[in-house]
Amino acid sequence: MQNDFARLDRIHIRDLHLRCVVGVNSDERREKQDVVINITLHADLKTPGKSDQIADTVDYKAIKKKIIGVVENSSCFLVEHLAELIANVCLAHHRVRRVNVIVDKPGALRFARSVAIEITRDQPDGN
């Protein structure tokens, strides 16, 4: 199975800047904070590479819009949970076989530019 994923092509959505409620402290729960999201969608892109048809590929614009809706309306305690929500949006697209999600929370730690959570999730068997 690992070799199957290695042969997949990748679509990168880089540096998606959004705002949401995320954190466990009371001050973090009052105001939306900045997050920076990076996503890699793994899919077989041979067919759309040949056909040049949007119907044959991953509509990354539609996925981005869904991610914006989920993130901006979320109220997560943990960045890990936010990353999981984003991964679920991506895997809802039937052509996406695997997704890597990185969520950066700038200013989360004093003296650090940001803290980032990175997760990898695969399409459940049978999809």
pLDDT of 5:
73
The pTM for the full model equals 0.92
Taking 3-state DSSP, the helix, strand and coil percentages for the chain, each rounded to the nearest 5, stand at 35, 35, 30
Token pair belonging to 70: 């989920």
Span 2-122 CATH architecture:
2-Layer Sandwich (3.30)
**Three-state SS at 39:** strand
Quick check: is 105 catalytic?
yes
In the chain, where the domains are located:
2-122
Per-residue pLDDT tens digits for 98-120 = 999 999 999 889 999 999 999 99
pLDDT of 58:
97
Q: Which of 32, 64, 66, 105 is catalytic?
A: 105
pLDDT of 107:
87
Would you place residue 96 in the very low, low, confident or very high pLDDT band (cuts 50, 70, 90)? very high
